[in-house]
């Protein structure tokens, strides 16, 4: 995600979707082929639905607004089917934010 306009678009989409799901974004940064989000949510959040919404909407919107991105996709897939999610019990929020802030640097 080297194009800053694509990165900004992705961040806006994540913020908008998160608002709809009542999720508070604490930090978000993009690296070359993935992004990290630190968020706070209610225990009742349907996480797979939330992640799927982000993937579906961002893929559609970024392809529509940045057609050149399609040339860089693997088998026409914008996102992989998987995602990684971890809770933050072992580290402080400041440590996580520093890690996310340093992505792509």
The CATH number given to whatever domain includes residue 20 is 3.30.70.1290
- The label of the residue with tokens 């440590």 reads 95
Q: 76 lies in which domain range? A: 4-101
Q: Which residues pair with 105 in a beta bridge?
A: none
Contact call for residues 33 and 40 (beta carbons, < 8 A):
no
User: Alpha-carbon distance 10 to 30, whole Å?
Assistant: 9
pLDDT tens by residue, 20-54: 999 999 989 888 778 889 899 999 999 999 999 99
The domain tally of the chain equals 1
Asked whether residue 99 carries a pLDDT value surpassing 80, the answer given is no
89 pLDDT higher than 60:
yes
Q: What is the mean pLDDT of residues 98-103?
A: 72
Instruction: Quick: pLDDT tens for 51-64.
Output: 999 999 999 998 89
């Amino acid at each position: 995600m080297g194009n800053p306009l694509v990165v900004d678009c992705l961040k806006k989409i994540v913020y908008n979707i998160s608002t709809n799901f009542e999720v508070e974004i604490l930090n978000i940064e993009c690296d070359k082929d993935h992004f990290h989000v630190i968020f706070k949510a209610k225990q009742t959040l349907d996480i797979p639905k939330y992640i799927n919404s982000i993937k579906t909407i961002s893929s559609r919107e970024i392809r529509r607004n940045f057609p050149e991105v399609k040339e860089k996709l693997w088998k026409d897939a914008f996102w992989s089917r998987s995602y990684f999610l971890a809770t933050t019990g072992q580290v402080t929020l400041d440590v996580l934010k520093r890690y996310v802030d340093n992505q792509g640097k």
